[in-house]
Chains A and B, each alone.
Chain A
Amino acid sequence: QVQLAQSGAEVKKPGASVKVSCKASGYTFNNYGISWVRQAPGQGLEWMGWISADNVPNYVQKFQGRVTMTTDTSTSTAYMELRSLRSDDTAVYYCARGVWYDYWGQGTLVTVSS
């Protein structure tokens, strides 16, 4: 069955970087893009960007220059790196498959605190 398994929770200081992984299984990784969505505590869903099946990224303007999304097809893993972290980056970060998101990772809590 299709699964997206994300890396574990992270605690970072302001100004640091975080890299979250999303390992796919149960389908042909190269056939689907991966999107990244975050959710701040008590808030709604915020789309951050996606990386297409042919490895072309598309980022929300808000995160341009701070985010990098990549894939490693040899391990069927997608990565999202966010730099220059601020306290308002504290959120659960999700990866999700496809054009509409039929499968989601379990989420990775990133806490930014001094």
Chain B
Amino acid sequence: DIQMTQSPSSLSASVGDRVTITCRASQGIGNFLAWYQQKPGRAPKSLIYDASSLQSGVPSKFSGSGSGTDFTLTISSLQPEDFATYYCQQYSRYPRSFGGGTKVEIK
């Protein structure tokens, strides 16, 4: 099974900051990686698929990069509505797997 490791597990940032979250796969997954945002009490929301493709309707301040085993999600200028938990997920092989999540909190 492929293990997905996110770092950091949490971070504190200020409005306007540039934030980067990393996700590492235990084996190569090509570009078969998605990123999701989840707010408390809500279902996850798709942000990025195929490692760097922006889901329709998602603002361009979100961007993804990487391939193989190392991936990043960047928020270019953090806004109040971006404080949430972010998850990566691989869909290269079964069973699919998620990272442990990164909670982005207000500094």
Q: Which residues of B contact A (CB under 8 A)?
A: 34, 36, 38, 43-46, 49-50, 55, 87, 89, 91, 94-101
Contacts and interface: CB of A to CB of B under 8 A. Distances in A.
Interface string A86-114: 00000000101001111111110000000
Contact of A105 (B43, B45, B55, B94): B43
Given A100-B49, A101-B34, A47 B44 contact: no
A102 B55 contact: yes
Interface of A: 35, 37, 44-47, 49-50, 58, 60-61, 94, 96, 99-107
B46 A44 contact: no
Contacts of A45: 36, 38, 44, 87, 89, 98, 101
Given A58-B94, A102-B46, A44 B100 contact: yes
A60 B95 contact: yes
Contacts of A46: 98
Given A101-B89, A102-B49, 16 more contacts: A44-B100, A45-B36, A45-B44, A47-B97, A47-B98, A60-B95, A61-B95, A94-B44, A100-B50, A101-B44, A102-B46, A102-B55, A103-B46, A104-B45, A105-B43, A106-B43
Given A47-B96, A47-B97, A99 B91 contact: yes
Contact of B46 (A47, A60, A94, A100): A100
Interface centre among A47, A58, A94 (most CB of B within 10 A): A47
Top 4 closest pairs, chain A to chain B, by CB: A100-B34, A104-B43, A100-B49, A45-B98
Interface centre among B34, B43, B98 (most CB of A within 10 A): B43
A45 B34 CA distance: 13
